[in-house]
Each structure stands twice: as structure tokens, then as C-alpha cells.
Amino acid sequence: MILVTNNEGRPGVGHSAQLLSGGESGLNALEAGIRIVEIDESIRTVGRGGWPNLIGEMQLDASVMDGNTLRTGAVGAIQGFLHPVSIARQVMERLPHELLVGPGAERFGREIGAEQGDNLIEDSKRVWNEWFEGVPEELRKNWKDAPLIDLCRQAIDPEAVRDTTTFLCLDSQNGVHGAVSTAGWGWKYPGRLGDSPVIGAGMYADSRYGACACTGAGEMAIRCGTSRTVVTYMKMGMSVEKAVYEAIEDMRALKGGLLNRITIHAIDNRGQHKVVAVNGTPSNHYWLWEEGDAEPHAVSAEIVPLSDH
């Protein structure tokens, strides 16, 4: 068994590891751990404590994937719910669909009785209000219909790493599973979806081979289909390490758009793993738990510049 989560998974990784060690299914363990992260206000990129979009709204994304069946569930741009990961899980289990967004996802959340709540905490509101005071007065007067394109390009995300939380595991039944939750890029254009709810970009799991999930600049993972690509390279016979390196090579073809930091987390179906922080810094680390460990421990990610050939 193995469990890998990024730095933001800190509040919930211990609980997920405990459940896995007790024989709980991987999906149950991952969902339970992420739920803890989603309501931890010290994690400033996920759920409560995350940053709002340009118009001051909290829009959350999440996804889950069952590597045994290849069923997925995802929600995007959902507002007013505390645990988007659980709504994504129910999309997978109760609907013939794979992805719900916006008002439709919120309707589904209400129908299943998902816990509602305001994710915009006072500190995030304060920072957004300070930014809003710097918006030209003529735009603020007609804010409902103000043009946002240039503001989106100029806005500075308080969490420049644009992170999320990703949980990957190999459970005691040899199932490989993944789950992801995020508040997305702070000060994003309303309705923006990052890679987290896009299956195959931000996360993918296949019990025959392995799983991969990304954090950071999701636009890059979407353009390269990074998570599915890593799993495909493992299917082709590459080690998990080689598969991640090959996916990074694919990213070198990216031109224009948002080229920033992205961290690739991957595991295989034998319990091996690899985490690489593309354009990362020495502070990049992740949490690792393997069968027999008393508790998860932090590990530094390998750092690879995108320009490094």
C-alpha cells in the first residue's frame, strides 16, 4: 500500500493513512482525508481558506476516480458547499454522467443533501476588498457588467503557486485511486476550470498501471493531458519515474499561455512513486505513507526546470 499527497494534504493525510492501514477502500480513505483539508482554513488553496475569483465569489472544483472501473466523478465552479470532493464522489456513484458544473452541480448537491456553507472566510474577503479598492473607479461603479479580461491578466494571486490538494493511493485490495479538490487560482476569471475537474489532465487512475495527479498551473496540465499521459507511459512499460520525466518532455513543446510551476505526483500499481516539481523551489515537498509506516512523513520533491534539456 502507498499514499501520496501534496503539501496541502497535510491536515488529512494522517487520517487517510490510518484508514488505509485498517483495510478501508482507497476511495473512502482519500475522500475522508480531503474532507479534512477542505474545511481547514490554514490551507489557502482548497475549500474554506481558498481565494475568491475576480468578482469575489468562491468557486470550487473536485474530482475522484476509481481505478478499478475507470469511473469518474467531477464538479466544477461549484458554490456554497463545504465538501466538493464528496459531491464529485456522488456524481460518480449516482449519475450516468462524469462531470457537473456551476448551477447544475449545485442543484445536485442540494438534491443529495450535501453540506452547505460559505467558504469565503474573513481574511480572504479582506484581501479581496483591498485589491478591489485598487480597481479603477469607473469599473467599480458598474462592477456587475465591468470588463474583466485585462483585470484577470493583471491580477496577482495571493497564493502564487496556484495549488490544490491531490491524494493518490494503492490500497490493500490492489486498487489504485485518486481524488482532488481545489479552490483554484485566486482572482481567476469567473467560471474558470483548472485541471482538477478535468479527468486526464489534473488526475487519472488505472489500477492496471498506476495514477497521476498535478498541482500548480493547471492550464499546462490541460494542454498536455498530463495525468493520463503519465499513466499511458506506464502502460507502455515505462517505470513511474521514466513516465513522469517523459511527460515533462511533452511540456517542453508548450508555447505561450501560462507557463509556470506545476508538480507531477505519480504512483504505480506496485507501490513505487515519483514526485517532480517543474520550475519548483526547494520548498516543494509532499507527504508519503507506505505500508508499515507509523505515520506519513514529508519528502522533498525533485526539482526540474522546464528549460532544462
Q: List the chain domain ranges.
A: 2-304
Q: Residue 156 has what pLDDT?
A: 60
Catalytic: 182?
no
DSSP code of residue 82: S
What is the CATH number that goes with domain 2-304? 3.60.20.30
Residue of higher predicted confidence among 203 and 280: 203
DSSP code of residue 46: S
DSSP code of residue 7: G
Q: Residue 309 has what pLDDT?
A: 38
pLDDT tens, position by position, 76-97 = 999 999 999 999 999 999 999 9
**Stretch 212-237: mean pLDDT, rounded?**
97
pLDDT tens, position by position, 115-150 = 999 999 999 999 999 999 999 999 999 998 999 998
Cα–Cα distances (Å) from 281 to 69, 278, 305, in that order, read 36, 9, 10
Alpha helices in 49-119 (DSSP H): 84-94, 102-111
Q: How confident is the model at residue 260 (pLDDT cuts 50, 70, 90)?
A: confident
**Stretch 252-260: mean pLDDT, rounded?**
90
Percent of the chain with pLDDT over 70: 97
Counting Cα atoms < 13 Å in the Cβ hemisphere of 180 gives: 37
Average pLDDT, whole number, for the chain?
95
| Residue 157 predicted with pLDDT over 70 | no
Residues 164, 165, 166, 215: which is the catalytic one?
164
Rounded CA-CA distance 49/120 in Å is 7
pLDDT tens, position by position, 27-86 = 999 999 999 999 999 999 999 989 999 999 999 999 999 999 999 999 999 999 999 999
**What residue ranges in the chain does DSSP mark as E strands?**
2-6, 60-66, 71-78, 99-101, 165-170, 176-182, 203-206, 210-216, 262-268, 273-278, 285-290, 297-300, 302-304
